[in-house]
Amino acid sequence: MSTPLGRRLDRVTLLTLGGIVVLAAAGPALAPHAPTEALDPQRLAWQPPSGTFLFGTDGFSRDVLSRFLVGARHTLGVALLAASVALLLGTAVGLGAALTRGWRDSLLMRGTDALLAMPRLLVLLLVVTGTGALRLDALALVLGATGWMTTARLVRQETRRLLATDAIRGAIVLGVPPMRLVTHHLLPALAPTLAVAATGAFASAVPLESGLSYLGLGVPTPLPSWGNIIAEAEGDLLRRWWVVVFPTVAIIGTVLLANRIADRVASRGEAS
Amino acid sequence: MRRALLARLGHGAIVIALVVSACFTLIRLAPGDPFFRDLDAARLTVEQREAQRAAFGYDRPIPEQFVRYVGQVARGELGWSHSRSQPVAAALAATLPATLLLITVATLLAFGLGISLGAWMGWRAEQPLARAADRVAVLVLAVPEYLLALLAVMGPALAWGLFPVGGMRTEFGPRGLAGLLDVAHHLTLPALALALPVAAMAARLQRAAMRATCDLPFVRTARAKGADDRIARRHARRAALVPVLSYAGVHLAVAVSGVVVIERIFAWPGMGRLLFEGVLARDYPLVAGGVLVASIGTVLGTLVADLALRWADPRQRELA
DSSP-derived secondary structure for B83-149:
TTTEEHHHHHHHHHHHHHHHHHHHHHHHHHHHHHHHHHHHHTTTSHHHHHHHHHHHHHHHS-HHHHH
Q: Which residues contact B3 (CB under 8 A, 6 or more apart)?
A: none
Q: Give the Cα separation of A67 and A58 in Å (integer).
A: 10
Contacts 24+ apart (CB under 8 A), B98-102: B98/B168, B98/B268, B98/B269, B98/B270, B98/B271, B99/B259, B99/B263, B99/B268, B99/B270, B99/B271, B99/B272, B101/B183, B101/B187, B102/B187, B102/B190, B102/B191, B102/B194, B102/B259, B102/B262, B102/B263, B102/B268, B102/B270
CA closest to A210 among chain B residues: B144
The helix/strand/coil state of B220 is: helix
Q: Are B252 and B150 in contact (CB under 8 A)?
A: no
State the Cα angle at A222 between A219 and A227, rounded to 5°. Answer: 40
Q: In chain A, how long is the greatest CA-to-CA distance?
A: 76
> Cβ of B257 and A119 within 8 Å?
yes
Q: Which of B256, B240, B254 is nearest to B309 (CA)?
A: B240
Q: Are A231 and A214 in contact (CB under 8 A)?
A: yes
Question: Which chain A residues are within 8 Å of B280, Cβ to Cβ?
Answer: 129
Question: Which chain B residues are within 8 Å of A215, Cβ to Cβ?
Answer: 261, 264, 276
The reported pLDDT for the residue numbered B316 is 63
The helix/strand/coil state of A33 is: coil
Q: Give the Cα separation of B171 and B169 in Å (integer).
A: 6
Q: Give the Cα separation of A43 and A55 in Å (integer).
A: 16
Q: Which of B184, B161, B305 is nearest to B243 (CA)?
A: B305
The answer to whether A129 faces chain B, any CB pair under 8 Å, is: yes
The reported pLDDT for the residue numbered A89 is 94
Q: Give the Cα separation of A215 and A229 in Å (integer).
A: 12
Q: Give the Cα separation of A262 and B82 in Å (integer).
A: 46
> Cβ of B139 and A125 within 8 Å?
no
Distance from CA of B225 to the nearest CA of A (A): 32
- Percentages (nearest 5) of helix, strand, coil residues in chain A: 70, 0, 25
> Cβ of A215 and B256 within 8 Å?
no
**Who among B155, B250, B279 is closest to A129 (CB)?**
B279
Q: Are B269 and B166 in contact (CB under 8 A)?
A: no
Divide the 272 residues of chain A into consecutive groups of 10 and give the mean pLDDT of each group: 54 78 77 72 73 73 82 87 94 90 84 83 76 78 89 89 88 88 87 86 87 80 82 73 83 86 72 44
> Cβ of B291 and A119 within 8 Å?
yes
The reported pLDDT for the residue numbered A2 is 43
Which of 245-264 (A) contact B at CB < 8 A?
248, 251-253, 255-256, 259
> Cβ of B257 and A120 within 8 Å?
yes
CA B37 distance to own-chain centroid: 31
State the Cα angle at B191 between B186 and B196, rounded to 5°. Answer: 145
How many other C-beta atoms can be found within 10 angstroms of the C-beta atom of residue B225?
Answer: 9
Q: Give the Cα separation of B232 and A141 in Å (integer).
A: 49
The reported pLDDT for the residue numbered A92 is 93
Q: Are B284 and B27 in contact (CB under 8 A)?
A: yes
Q: Give the Cα separation of B188 and B182 in Å (integer).
A: 10
Work out the average pLDDT over B270-299: 83
> Cβ of B261 and A111 within 8 Å?
no
The DSSP 8-state label assigned to residue A28 in this structure reads H
The reported pLDDT for the residue numbered B106 is 92
End-to-end C-alpha distance for chain B, whole angstroms = 9
> Cβ of A114 and B254 within 8 Å?
no
Q: Give the Cα separation of A80 and A22 in Å (integer).
A: 15
End-to-end C-alpha distance for chain A, whole angstroms = 5
- Topology at the third CATH level for domain A78-271: MetI-like fold (1.10.3720)
Work out the average pLDDT over B169-196: 82
The reported pLDDT for the residue numbered B36 is 56
The reported pLDDT for the residue numbered B320 is 42
Pairing assessment for the beta strands B86-87 and B80-81 based on DSSP bridges: antiparallel
* Integer CA distances (angstroms), B163 to A194, B105, B175, B183, B187, in order: 45, 17, 19, 11, 9
Q: Are B309 and B245 in contact (CB under 8 A)?
A: yes
To test the contact with chain B by mutation, choose from A106, A129, A214, A263 the residue with the greatest count of B C-beta atoms within 10 A, namely: A129
Torsion sign, CA atoms B143, A119, B199, A197:
positive
pTM of the model: 0.81
Strand partners, B80: B87
Q: What is the pLDDT of residues B113-135, one digit of tens each?
A: 998 888 888 888 788 888 888 88
The reported pLDDT for the residue numbered B29 is 66
Mean pLDDT over the full length of chain A: 81
**Who among A127, A129, A237 is closest to B154 (CB)?**
A237
**Who among B146, B264, B287 is closest to A122 (CB)?**
B287
SS (H, E, C) B151-199: HHHHHHHHHCCCCCCCCCCCCCCCCHHHHHHHHHHHHHHHHHHHHHHHH
The reported pLDDT for the residue numbered B161 is 72
CA closest to A240 among chain B residues: B154
**Who among B15, B146, B256 is closest to A114 (CB)?**
B15
Mean pLDDT over the full length of chain B: 80
The reported pLDDT for the residue numbered A262 is 81
The reported pLDDT for the residue numbered B30 is 61
Q: Which of B273, B266, B238, B272 is nearest to B254 (CA)?
A: B272
> Which DSSP helix (H) or strand (E) runs through A113?
helix A102-117
CA closest to A258 among chain B residues: B142
Q: Are A130 and A172 in contact (CB under 8 A)?
A: no
Q: Which of A260, A240, A265, A261 is nearest to A48 (CA)?
A: A240
Q: What is the pLDDT of residues B42-89, one digit of tens each?
A: 667 777 777 777 776 777 787 888 888 888 888 878 878 878 888 888
Domain spans, chain A = 78-271
Question: Which chain A residues are within 8 Å of B141, Cβ to Cβ?
Answer: 255, 259
The answer to whether A271 faces chain B, any CB pair under 8 Å, is: no
**Who among A117, A211, A215 is closest to B19 (CB)?**
A117
